[in-house]
């Protein structure tokens, strides 16, 4: 190769390295191998029923029995949310506060006009858990979740009418929106979405998922 050719290639090689650096050769952290999440701590007395709950059953844990149950560090969670009403904002804040406290690797998908597309975007990130906040997502989740049985979902402050084993919900008096044209329950109360209750709901739901108590409704006071 001539000296001219070698000299011409040198700047090109430098430029190529710069382009590769700018495009992020290291890749997204969530594309890297990831250890299976585990439960740190343990469930307190009164969380689990005496016998294994049937699919779609409702369990009522003793308040606070979930306090010591935490995910392993780096637990990958997508917060899937839609809506800007006060209950949804309270749930979103609770998930974010919990993630900060528990060293959770949290990403957020704000579902827009096509809610199913938003759910698929969340699944495509391949998280350990998708946490849903917002009543508008209930019917689209009922459509999508049954076709993605390897992805775990937690619905907070609402529930699917006929959940598959990968969908867990947390509800209380004043929540329990179920979609499917059933309308809002007469017991629905936006004021019931307090900071304390939303925080408890997130922790109780994650504790259930990490303990393989899935496909059920966790009812809290």
pLDDT tens for 131-172 read 999 999 999 999 999 999 999 999 999 999 899 999 999 999
CA 49 – CA 136 distance, rounded (Å): 31
Predicted confidence at residue 167, as pLDDT, reads 98
Per-residue pLDDT band for 28 (boundaries 50, 70, 90) equals: confident
Q: What is the mean pLDDT of the chain?
A: 87
Predicted confidence at residue 17, as pLDDT, reads 38
CA 177 – CA 79 distance, rounded (Å): 19
Per-residue pLDDT band for 214 (boundaries 50, 70, 90) equals: very high
Which CATH architecture group holds 37-219? 3-Layer(aba) Sandwich (3.40)
Predicted confidence at residue 58, as pLDDT, reads 96
**Across 175-191, average pLDDT:** 75
- pLDDT of 24 above 60: no
Of the listed ranges 11-25, 55-69, 120-134, 178-192, the least confidently predicted one is: 11-25
Predicted confidence at residue 184, as pLDDT, reads 61
| Percentage with pLDDT > 70 across the chain | 84
pTM here? 0.85
Of the listed ranges 69-78, 176-185, 189-198, 212-221, the least confidently predicted one is: 176-185
Tokens 């709950």 correspond to 53
Predicted confidence at residue 11, as pLDDT, reads 47
Give me the residue spans of the domains in the chain: 37-219
Quote the tokens at residue 134. 């917002």
Predicted confidence at residue 189, as pLDDT, reads 93
Answer whether 78's CB lies under 8 Å from 186's CB: no
- pLDDT of 32 above 70: yes
Answer whether 167's CB lies under 8 Å from 141's CB: yes
Answer whether 178's CB lies under 8 Å from 158's CB: yes
pLDDT tens for 188-204 read 899 999 999 999 999 99
CA 111 – CA 114 distance, rounded (Å): 7
pLDDT tens for 35-91 read 889 999 999 999 999 999 999 999 999 999 999 999 999 999 999 999 999 999 999
Per-residue pLDDT band for 185 (boundaries 50, 70, 90) equals: low
């Amino acid at each position: 190769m001539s000296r001219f050719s070698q000299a011409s290639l040198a700047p090109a090689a430098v430029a190529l390295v710069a382009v590769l650096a700018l495009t992020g050769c290291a890749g997204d952290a969530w594309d890297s191998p990831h250890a299976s999440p585990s439960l740190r701590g343990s469930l307190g007395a009164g969380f689990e029923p005496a016998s294994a709950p049937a699919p779609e059953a409702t369990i009522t844990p003793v308040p606070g029995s979930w306090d010591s149950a935490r995910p392993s560090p780096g637990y990958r969670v997508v917060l899937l949310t839609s809506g800007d009403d006060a209950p949804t904002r309270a749930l979103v804040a609770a998930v974010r506060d919990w993630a900060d406290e528990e060293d959770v690797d949290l990403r957020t998908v704000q579902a827009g006009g096509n809610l199913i597309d938003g759910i698929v975007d969340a699944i495509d990130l391949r998280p350990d858990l998708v946490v849903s906040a917002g009543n508008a997502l209930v019917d689209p989740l009922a459509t999508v979740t049954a076709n993605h049985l390897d992805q775990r979902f937690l619905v907070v402050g609402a529930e699917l009418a006929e959940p598959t084993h990968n969908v867990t919900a947390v509800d209380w008096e004043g929540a329990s929106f179920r979609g499917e044209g059933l309308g809002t329950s007469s017991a629905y109360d936006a004021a019931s979405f307090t900071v304390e209750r939303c925080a408890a709901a997130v922790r109780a739901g994650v504790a259930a998922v990490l303990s393989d108590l899935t496909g059920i409704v966790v009812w809290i006071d």
